[in-house]
Structure 1
């Protein structure tokens, strides 16, 4: 056998080994660790130290930037196809200078997402700004599970993510309190809306999941605890991925009856895909009269914001062009907390 042929065989063998190792790394599913020490019960005393507290400077606006449904994946990211999405985020962060970044789900979407998760976390963490993600219905579909992603979030220096109580459903039910002069001025309730499920053994298709009763009870407990800490009723916001059914009700009512000038804004580009059943989350919101804003992602072509029974229901603006985007509808959603709270979409050309 000539040296040339022998060298060729060795080269091909090395190449095949590298390919095999790469494929194995990509395809081998990775599971993370969930924690069983954070057990919630209704009579558990509310402790502000169990929550995340961010300090707001007196007489200075506090800005929250929502980005959503970025939907990275390994195949496209390794080919450099994520650049425009990252450019959108760069533009938003540079121009808006937020105090907090919230991701309302679907950071990734595909069968292979390990490298995309790591790259996205490193990128967002590099801004040096506190950031708080929640899970979307696609985040756990890849070759890394939600617990693995949660572990990576928790390792990031500036990420505020907490897995939350392990007995109320989901990974990532947690609270961020905004405090000014030792008083909580706004509580941000982060809620996991899960993914999809078969509702009946005869179902041919899966339907979107819902907020569990245990999560609603946890929400009520949290609002009561925050009010007791403040010795007064405290305002709050809820961030979720899959919208509650009242989003559709609110939009339809707006179209039928209109609203005060400038009160509602945004567009509906597709039919809403809320939780398949209504478990009463909005009833709890109304009962406790604390939450005045609910933000969701999920439906990429919708970005409407509507007042409904005293609560503003807002679809955050989709960030990036991955998977179903209306041309021109790219950017993020900015919440500004000052003398009053304003909500606006920030458009970025792509």
Structure 2
């Protein structure tokens, strides 16, 4: 198992033995990064092989005892529980355990919609999520999606639960959103690759035109702490530039940047349901789900331009459950992690996790691990 260090002191712990991370605060890496703004962790890479990071996305577990109204009750039960199967979350947890056993990762990355917040007003799904990964006892790093923060427990409570979980590498950060931090992969203590974990925001209010029945309610205790419009905001871009500091890096977030749409449009003429050419920049997978252009984040392209200038190797998202494409675009891999959970919609034969193998020399190789 790799060793984990909080960058707020010099104490290292093996992942299997760690009981609690040291108190977190603003980091300052005097030897290689000046005036850094943000939060982060150091994770020592294995000495004899690439680090194995398993991306899980859109687990989106549902507590059926907390359906808010009759309309949503009909929609959810009618769409996802037609056959009287009520144990979707248990199936998801079993699937995660099987993936971890198969892949043997050093790190687990959760790219949002980890719980379906609208159906987690008592916080049970968040507690179960944390219990699952603490049972697995491998360092895990989550970001929020557009549904997590809908819970009436509030985002403050959610952040506190994650920060207090012994194996969880998480910090809220101090820029727009509630999950902006970095995980620095080190070799012999020296940072050699950065994972930028970022909040793509977009927790819409109930009544929004895109999905009027779902979202965060105006009476939510932390309503004003959640950014309701999806996007990567200027302060997040500035934070990212400083945080990666020209290290080779990869970005993990929930909602994909507009560059994904540009890539599929220009390279494949926006054709749905067709396999991508494997002889073109290593492209692979399938782009099988439409999303309106205005629902992508980074509409201006400012973040993608910054990423290209900052040694970014890859950006991986979730959100669109039916897409599993990985497209090379202007020197950056733009990929979707496989949807992991069985709650809400999913495409048969296209669920699982995505393995990212990261080398100290900056190589970044991604492989979908499909559920058998």
Q: Give the TM-score normalised by the residue count of structure 2.
A: 0.73
Q: Report the more deviating stretch, 137-146 or 307-316.
A: 137-146
> Post-superposition shift, 1:108?
1.0
Match of 2:177 among 170, 180, 186: 170
For structure 2, which runs of at least 5 residues remain unmatched after alignment? 1-23, 67-84, 212-227, 270-275
Query: Which of the pair has more CA radius of gyration?
Result: 1
**1:82 pairs with 2:95:** no
Residue 179 of structure 1 aligns with which residue? 186
3-state SS in 1 of match to 2:150: coil
**Structure 1 gap ranges (5+):** 1-35, 225-232
1:154 aligns with 2:163: yes
Whether the aligned pair in 2 keeps the contact of 1:210 and 1:275 (CA below 8 Å) is yes
Q: Decide which of 52, 75, 80 is 1:63's aligned counterpart.
A: 52
Q: Does 1:219 find its partner at 2:232?
A: no
Q: Which residue of 1 aligns with 2:77?
A: none
**Alignment CA distance shift 1:47-1:142 (3 Å):** closer
300, 315, 332: which one aligns with 1:278: 300
**1:52 matched to 2:41:** yes
Deviations 1:267-309 (A, max 9, x none): 1121134127335100111223x11110101111111000000
Establish whether residue 132 from structure 1 lines up as the match of residue 141 from structure 2: yes
Q: Structure 2 CA distance, aligned partners of 1:197 and 1:107? A: 16
Tell me, yes or no, if structure 1 residue 118 matches structure 2 residue 131: no
Aligned length: 297
Q: Is the 8 A contact 1:66 1:101 kept in 2?
A: yes
SS of residue paired to 1:292: strand
Task: Determine the C-alpha separation between the residues in 1 that align with 2:305 and 2:27.
Answer: 25
Cα distance in 2 for residues equivalent to 1:268 and 1:156:
36
What is the SS of the residue equivalent to 1:161?
Answer: coil
Tell me the residue number matched to 1:30: none
1:1-350 equivalences in 2 (<5 Å)? 45-46=35-36, 51-75=40-64, 80-113=87-120, 114-165=123-174, 168-196=175-203, 209-224=230-245, 233-256=246-269, 260-261=279-280, 263-272=282-291, 273-275=295-297, 277-278=299-300, 280-288=302-310, 290-338=311-359, 340-349=363-372
1:74–1:178 Cα change, 3 Å: same
Distance 1:263 1:204 in 2: 37
Confirm or deny: 8 A CA contact 1:208 1:276 kept in the other structure.
Answer: no
CA-based RMSD: 2.9
CA–CA distance in structure 2, aligned partners of residues 310 and 184 of structure 1: 22
Cα distance in 2 between the residues matched to 1:161 and 1:120 = 14
Distance 1:197 1:279 in 2: 22
